[in-house]
Amino acid sequence: MSNQITIYTDGGSRGNPGPGGSGYALYDSEGNLILGRGVYLGKTTNNVAEYTGMLEALRTASEMNFENVQVFTDSELMTKQLNGIYKVKSPNLKSIYKQCVELLDSFASWEVSHVYRENNKEADALANQAMDARADVEIEGDVPAEPKGKKLRLGVLISGGGRTMENIDKQIKAGKLNAEIAVAVCSRAKIKGVELTRKLGHKLEIVRKKDLPDLDAFSDRLVEIMDENRVDLIVQAGWLCLWKIPDKYDSRVMNIHPSLLPSFGGKGMWGNHVHQAVLDRGCKVSGCTVHFCTNEYDEGPIVIQRCCPAKPDDTPEKLASRVFAEECIAYPEAIRLFSEDRLSIRDGKVFIEEASASRKPRGQANLF
C-alpha cells in the first residue's frame, strides 16, 4: 500500500461571521475513501473555517501515519498563503496558519493545490452537513493506514488488569503502530491481565517473584523470556516489580507513570496512591510520563509527557480516568518514535529527532 494520501478540504460560514463548519475527505492512492468528517465550529468566518478544515485534515493524516500528502481546496487565498505566495495579514489567521505550516513540514512531501468548487463536492457537503446538524458528522471507509518504522517485537510486563496492553493492542490492530506483542509476562497468576492476555491471543508467561530465590534469579528469568522471544522493546504496562535491567537492554525498556515525573514518583507511588497525593497537594494539573527505565523506581530519561487538569472536586478515581486517557495517547506515540529510530539520549535527556525523509520546499506546489 502506498503511503500517499489525497485530501479534499473546505469550510464556510453562513453570514461571515455566522454559524460555520469545516469538512474534509481523505482518500488512499487507489481513490478509496478512508474517512470523511464535517466539523461544526459555531460562529466564525469563512477564512477561519477554511483553515480549520485544512488543520483538522492534516492532523488526521499525521495521526494515521501517512508520509506524503496532496491537498485540494477551493480557497485560492489559503492555497497561495500556504505556498508562500501571499502573506497572512489577518491576526485571526496567523496562529492557525502557523499550525498548518508546521504540520505540512512534518510530512516527507506535500502539495496544496486549488480546485474549483464543483471538484470539491465531498468536502463542501460535509461542511454543510455539520452546519445543518450543528454537530460533527463522520463517514468512514475501510482502508487502514500504513504504519511507519520498523516492526517491533514487544515484550509487555503486567502486574494488574492489562488496560495499557489492551490499548497498545488496539493501536496495532488499527494499523497505527508497527509492532506486535511477542510475549506478555504477568507477575501474578490471579490478575485480570492473565485472562486478558489469553483473550487477545498473545503468548503468556507467569513469573512470580516469590517462586524464585532472589532478585537476581527473578531478573534473569525475565531477561531469558525476552531473549527467547526476540524482543526489541520491553514495555512496562502497570508493572509493579523492581528488577535488574542488564546492559544489553539499556534504553530498550519503557515505563509509563501516572504523574508528571519527577513529581509523585518512587517506591509506593502507583495507581490511586499517586492521584490522591496529587489532589492532597492541591495540584492544578496532572498527567502521565513515558520514560526509559533504570534500576530505580520511576527514574530514567523522559520520552513524552501529557497533561490534564486536576480539578478541586476530583476524586482519585476521576483523576485516574482523565490521566489514563492521556496515557492511551502518550505510550503508543513513544513506541512509534522508538520504532522509527527517532529517540536519542544525550546527557541523560531524550531528544526526538526529525523524520529522516527529505521534505519538499514550500512554494513548489501546483497551482490551478
Catalytic residue of the set 114, 202, 257, 291? 257
Q: How far is CA 71 from the centre of its chain?
A: 22
The single-letter code of the amino acid at 274 is V
DSSP string, 23-69: EEEEE-TTS-EEEEEEEEEEEE-HHHHHHHHHHHHHHHHHHTT--EE
User: 223, 232 in Cβ contact below 8 A?
Assistant: no
Dihedral sign for Cα 55, 343, 169, 32, please: positive
- Three-class DSSP category at 365: coil
From residue 309, alpha-carbon distances to 125, 274, 288, 290 in Å are 36, 15, 12, 18
SS3 of 300, please? Answer: coil
Q: Is 257 a catalytic residue?
A: yes
Task: Point out the residues that are catalytic.
Answer: 257
